[in-house]
Amino acid sequence: MSGELSLSINIKEPRWDQGTFMGRAKHFFMVTDPRNVLLSSETLEEARVIVENYRSGIVKSGLTEDELWRAKYVYDSAFHPDTGEKMFVIGRMSAQVPMNMSITGCMLTFYRTTPAVVFWQWVNQSFNAVVNYTNRSGDAPITVNQLGAAYVSATTGAVVTALGLKSLATRLPPIVSRFVPFAAVAAANCINIPFMRQRELKYGIPVTDENGNRLGESAYAAKQAIVQVVVSRIGMAVPAMAIPPVIMNALEKKAFMKRFPVLNAPVQVALVGLCLVFATPLCCALFPQKSSMSVSGLEPDLQERIKQTSPHTTTVYFNKGL
């Protein structure tokens, strides 16, 4: 039929050019759209059927290209890319903004007492563990022991950093104390992500040529991928944990905030949410999802193998993760 949608659209790849920052930003604004958390099971199932049928060469009557791409992003927001299983709702990328705005807002509000610092750092790392497990790679699955080690290490690192800086901050201006949660979160990310992906650091991650042909596994590529993810995660936290403390420090001196101190937490959470709506997709877009490195930067034995099997290949590609 002349009006039928073409089967040549590649929905395995993002809709926008991932070679540019703007293309990656548009992609991640769709992936992290918090409205997807509110979608019903029926809507998610409908999107799954549309996507799986299209991949099988079956096009729903009257389906437009925009509707196909919408279904693809709804599907990607709720179903695991490797296993196809529906993901736990708070572990989905679309839940990042509402969950992080609540947790981060509380970390920035309740930072004055030691029990509050310990509790909210524990809540944050528990949430991170759920996200990391939900978005685990099917190619390099996370074991329960690895998950537990990363969880305990990151929580301990975050709490020790927070309490250590909190004691130092008592001798500094009050505004400095407000930045203690950010330092703790940054420290936890530097611990949590490498621990969670330690299998990749030991055995490497798959590297391919530009056509997607697998050339081997590289631990050097894994190191580059993990560094990029750590930078992105810390970058996401910067606006949400650096801007609201400055604003709140000024607001708390105002008469209306002194009269209604109960507004402190809601205002803080709202400010964090506003920052995260933009920071989350923009920082995910800092580096291409399909990252690359020169063959000369790989392990010597892998370089030799590639020279023998694919002598014209000078650059390899790999999935950096999120």
**Which token pair is 47?**
């999107």
| pLDDT average, residue stretch 247-262 | 81
| Tens digit of each residue's pLDDT (9 = 90 or more) over 8-63 | 888 888 889 888 999 999 999 998 899 999 999 999 999 999 999 998 888 888 88
- Extract the tokens encoding 123: 């809540």
Neighbours of 277 (CB within 10 A): 18
pLDDT in tens, 134-182: 776 656 666 778 778 778 887 787 788 778 877 776 777 767 777 777 7
pLDDT in tens, 48-88: 999 999 988 888 888 899 999 999 999 988 888 767 788 88
Domain range annotation of the chain: 21-86, 92-319
| pLDDT tens profile 87-144 | 889 988 889 889 988 888 888 778 778 888 889 888 988 888 788 777 766 566 667 7
Rg, Å, the chain Cα set? 22
pLDDT of residue 71: 92
- Beta carbons of 165 and 184 less than 8 angstroms apart: yes
The pLDDT of residue 106: 85
Question: pLDDT value at position 46?
Answer: 93
Reported pTM: 0.77
Q: Three-state DSSP class for 108?
A: helix
pLDDT tens for each residue of 257-268: 788 877 877 888
C-beta of residue 106 within 8 angstroms of C-beta of residue 120: yes
Q: What is the DSSP letter of 79?
A: B
Give pLDDT, residue 49: 92
Structure tokens at 260: 């209604």
Give the pLDDT of residue 140: 61
220 CB neighbour count, 10 Å cutoff = 16
Quick one: which of 133, 159, 101 has its CA closest to 276? 101
Q: Give the per-residue pLDDT at 62.
A: 84
Given a contact cutoff of 8 angstroms between Cβ atoms, the answer to whether 266 and 109 are in contact is no
**Best CA proximity match to 205, nearest among 80, 128, 317, 300:** 317
